[in-house]
Chain A
Amino acid sequence: MIGPYYRPQLTSLLSITHRASGVLLSVVGAPLMLWWIVAVASGPQSYRAVAAFFDSWPGLLILAACLLSLSYHLFNGIRHLVWDTGRALDLRSAYTGGWLVLIAAVLLTAVLLGVLT
């Protein structure tokens, strides 16, 4: 998708974003979740350290990126599962579904950020 003749399109951008969000969740999101679980198991002091991290600006930014990635990957993953059944494969549905996924992802991210911060 890179080169002098490539014109950005919603479909291809969403496709690469699915991969990018998956990589971010694997490399950053999952370790953070495990860190939180270890902190809960270890005691109040460790737990406060994790809570303090997520209260800081870098921590909040990373949390927001993970929540957005999770929301997007979840909804776009459902879009992929629909495609796997052979449905909604025409161009029109690909765009409609793409916009729906984006809207749903932003909404869920906003709700989760609102709840958690």
Chain B
Amino acid sequence: MSMTNPLARARGQGSAKSGVHHWFAQRVSAVMLIFLVAWLVYAAFALAGADHAAARSFLAQPFNTALAILLVVALLYHAMLGLQVVIEDYVHQPALELVLHFLTRAGAYFGMALGIVQLLRIAVGT
């Protein structure tokens, strides 16, 4: 006996082979963030009470610039996926849901671009 709903079989649509993509991407970014937040804690210790010059020279070190960029991208990506699920679960008004999904994605991508550009500015000293 087939476990597929007859209508689904008639339409020929099963899993589009992306069934676990969202779940997996959320976990990959989560594991990366464990290490990146560990770096953030280290940065908090290194920058405690730092003035502007100290903060700038810390972030301008290539290793720190790279990790800060990775942190911004991984964090916003993880946040985007998480907010998407929260919206799907709790917002049941189609128009509002669409707007919130759009704002979540647009906001995350904008934040990534902003973070990368500003961190590169710090790195090259302009």
Contacts and interface: CB of A to CB of B under 8 A. Distances in A.
Interface string A25-47: 11100110110011011011001
B99 interface: no
A107 to B, nearest CB: 12
B86 A19 contact: yes
Contact of B52 (A26, A33, A43, A84): A43
Interface residues of B, number: 32
Given A81-B30, A116-B44, A37 B72 contact: yes
Given A30-B76, A37-B118, A41-B119, A47 B111 contact: no
B70 to A, nearest CB: 13
B75 to A, nearest CB: 6
Interface string B90-107: 000000000000000000
B76 A40 contact: no
B86 A47 contact: no
Contact of B119 (A19, A37, A44): A37
A112 B41 contact: yes
A10 interface: no
Contacts of A59: none
Interface of A is mostly: helix
Nearest to A22: B82
A116 to B, nearest CB: 6
Interface of B: 27, 30-31, 33-34, 37, 41, 44-45, 48, 51-53, 55-56, 59, 68, 72, 75-76, 79-80, 82-83, 86, 111, 114-115, 118-119, 121-122
